[in-house]
Amino acid sequence: MFKDSLFKYFAIFCTSIGLIVLALLLFDIFSKGLTRIDWDFITNLPSRRPERAGILTALFGMMWIVTLTILIACPIGIAAAVYLEEYSSKNRFAKFIEINISNLAGVPSIIYGILGLEVFVRLLKLGNSVLAGSLTLSLLVLPVIIVATREAIKSVPNSLREASIGLGATPWQTIQRIVLPACFGSILTGIILAISRAVGETAPLIVVGALVYVPFVPQTPMDQFTVLPIQIFNWTSRPQHGFVVNAAAGIIILLLFVFLLNSIAIILRNRHNKRVKY
Amino acid sequence: MQKIKEKSIEAFLILCASITVFTTLGIIVILSIETFQFFREVSVFEFFTGTEWTPLFAIKKYGILPLVAGTLLTTLIAIAVALPLGLTIAVYLNEYADQRLKAVIKPLLEILAAIPTVVYGFFALTFVTPVLQKIIPSLSGFNALSAGLVMGVMIIPYVSSLSEDALSAVPKSLREAAYGMGSTRLQTAFKVMLPAASSGVIVSVILAISRAIGETMIVAVAAGQEPKFTFNPLQSIETITTYIVQVSMGDVPQNSLEFRSIFAAGITLFGLTFILNNISYWMKQKYQQKYE
């Protein structure tokens, strides 16, 4: 029994290490950066002087990237999931795609960057544009959306489908009007998690050539861009103390987005789990 | 008319599903072609056995081992943190903690995996390294140790959550039988539950390793950019991923040999993670069959 309680306290200690590090990280970043955040920091363009630099272009770049990524990745991801769950009758092709998706989910994000650099930037000649960056991130978040949507579709009971088909609806009508609306909440959760992933992603965008210094806000999908994590990376790697403070302030803004998105996802998931009881 | 519509929708859906296959194919084809070009100028033997990596210097040497060593070193440190912690947490949540506590702790720990990695890089460089330097004065400003430690904390939830899922999937009868035979909680947890869930636990660890190998921003910020063939964690090193970032941020002319070296580095990285992912997928299939 002694060993038993000894392990218990050791385990509580282990669990708290993770949480303590999390708390330390947040405390460290807030104590370094919180006082730096003001309206100017958000609306200023990047600058050589740390006290005048701001994150306006990075914020707009992020909005552009996230919006385009979701517009591209959602239809494709949901369509792929619908095919795998509703059409493919567990044939070899479906099995192959399944293995493939699980593999893609484990490919390091920087490899997607290399793919994007070759295919979108150089082959399709999109240059270091918002569009090239978004296409790259779309491929990256596609497995996230597909897996979430598949889980969502699986949760829809067969009786609904059978009732719809029995009333004379075609397979697509059943999917479009019965299955997808029934599991929309869960799909949305997956999409939000994909957005959260895209917001924090840095490495692939560096490889496709997102710039460090962009003195203007992107106006079209073909413009060059930077995003918040890249701005933070750049500030972190500079020697002057002022830029470290800027990096911490940028991180606070970035974390606000990430935590907000994740909380929405959790709330949606809980509400959905409560509401739907087939 | 209706039939044509249905068929064309199905064709569109198949096309979307195929995009994932094209992505994999694209990665393999692109890395292979560029690496092939690279190996027309650099010998394969030198690449895999050379202990110097200096493509950006005047005297260019292309031995990948320093980058591989850097990658393995940070991964090793990370796993040394995440495996014992993650596994203990998984056992604790599954065997000891009550449901309400588990429902709070699990999502809290998963926050660790949601934080963008550039944030961890900042934390490692500006907080962990200075603190460690007070204990180990010889620690250099960029080092594998603090990057690896922070990365280890980041991947705790990969190990703990997936292992906990595996433990939860073990049939209740096994645990009840163990208690019935008079085992203590600890004995039940480590002699019955953990062995029964072992393949799931191994899958979680493999995924965590694969994640650590491919991790970029933490090491790019905090571990340095000096490719060294060393396993000394106190020094500045360079990982495969950092090298790719370094070249992408510099102004290396495209189509030059230096530029192509990122594809050779990339295929090494892809190969490592590809093997690990396939092993874990294969193990997952096997272990799901066992209890269903």
Question: Which phi-psi region, left, alpha or beta, contains residue A170 (left: φ > 0; alpha: ψ -120 to 50)?
Answer: beta
Backbone angles phi, psi at B184, to 5 degrees: -80, 170
- Nearest by CB to residue B12, choosing from A79, A100, A203, is A79
Give the C-alpha separation, A48 to A53, whole Å: 7
Give the C-alpha separation, B74 to B149, whole Å: 8
Give CATH for domain A59-275. 1.10.3720.10
Partners of A224 in the β-ladder: A129
- Chain-chain contact of B122 with A248 (C-beta, under 8 angstroms): yes
pLDDT score recorded for residue A147: 92
pLDDT score recorded for residue B152: 95
When computed from its CA atoms, the radius of gyration of chain B, rounded to whole angstroms, is 23
Question: Which phi-psi region, left, alpha or beta, contains residue B118 (left: φ > 0; alpha: ψ -120 to 50)?
Answer: alpha
Q: How far is CA A163 from CA A157, A178, A210, B5, B75, in A?
A: 11, 10, 51, 22, 52
Distance (Å) from the C-alpha of residue B46 to the closest C-alpha of chain A? 23
Contacts of B67 (CB under 8 A, 6+ apart): B53, B227, B238, B239, B240, B243, B265, B268
pLDDT score recorded for residue B151: 96
Residue that has been written with the tokens 């990237």 in this structure: A65
Backbone angles phi, psi at B49, to 5 degrees: -120, -15
Q: Is the CB of residue B112 less than 8 Å away from at least one CB of chain A?
A: yes
Instruction: For residue B84, give the nearest of B156, B190, B184, B170 by alpha carbon.
Output: B156
Contacts of A238 (CB under 8 A, 6+ apart): A244
Q: Is the CB of residue B248 less than 8 Å away from at least one CB of chain A?
A: yes
- Chain-chain contact of A87 with B14 (C-beta, under 8 angstroms): yes
Task: Give Cα B67 distance to the centre of its chain.
Answer: 16
- Nearest by CB to residue A106, choosing from B5, B221, B273, is B273
Contacts of A251 in chain B (CB under 8 A): 118-119, 122
Interface test with A, best of B248, B283, B286 (most A CBs within 10 A): B248
Q: Is the CB of residue A26 less than 8 Å away from at least one CB of chain B?
A: no
- CA torsion sign, B191 to B194 to B198 to B201? negative
pLDDT score recorded for residue A215: 76
Interface test with B, best of A3, A5, A7, A138 (most B CBs within 10 A): A7
Q: Is the CB of residue B115 less than 8 Å away from at least one CB of chain A?
A: yes
Burial class (CB in 10 A: 0-12, 13-18, 19+), A121: buried
What fold characterizes domain B73-239+268-291?
MetI-like fold (1.10.3720)
- CA torsion sign, B15 to B21 to B27 to B32? negative
pLDDT score recorded for residue B89: 94
C-beta of residue B52 within 8 angstroms of C-beta of residue A115: no
Domain regions of chain B by residue span: 73-239+268-291
Positions in chain A short of pLDDT 50: none
Q: What is the per-residue DSSP string for chain B?
A: -HHHHHHHHHHHHHHHHHHHHHHHHHHHHHHHHHHHHHHTTS-HHHHHH---B-TTSSS--B--HHHHHHHHHHHHHHHHHHHHHHHHHHHIIIIIS-HHHHHHHHHHHHHHHHS-HHHHHHHIIIIIHHHHHHH-TT--SS-HHHHHHHHHHHTHHHHHHHHHHHHHHS-HHHHHHHHHTT--HHHIIIIIIHHHTHHHHHHHHHHHHHHHHH--HHHHHHT-S-------TTS----HHHHHHHHHHTTPPTTSHHHHHHHHHHHHHHHHHHHHHHHHHHHHHHHHHHH-
Q: Is the CB of residue B263 less than 8 Å away from at least one CB of chain A?
A: yes
C-beta of residue A88 within 8 angstroms of C-beta of residue B28: no
pLDDT score recorded for residue B292: 52
Per residue of chain B (292 residues), what is the pLDDT tens digit? 778 888 899 899 989 989 999 999 999 999 999 999 999 988 888 888 888 888 888 788 889 999 999 999 999 999 999 999 999 999 999 888 888 888 888 888 888 889 999 999 999 999 999 999 999 999 888 999 999 999 999 999 999 998 998 898 888 888 889 989 988 888 888 888 988 888 889 989 999 999 999 999 999 999 988 898 988 999 999 999 999 999 988 878 888 888 889 999 999 999 999 999 888 888 887 766 565 5
pLDDT score recorded for residue A3: 81
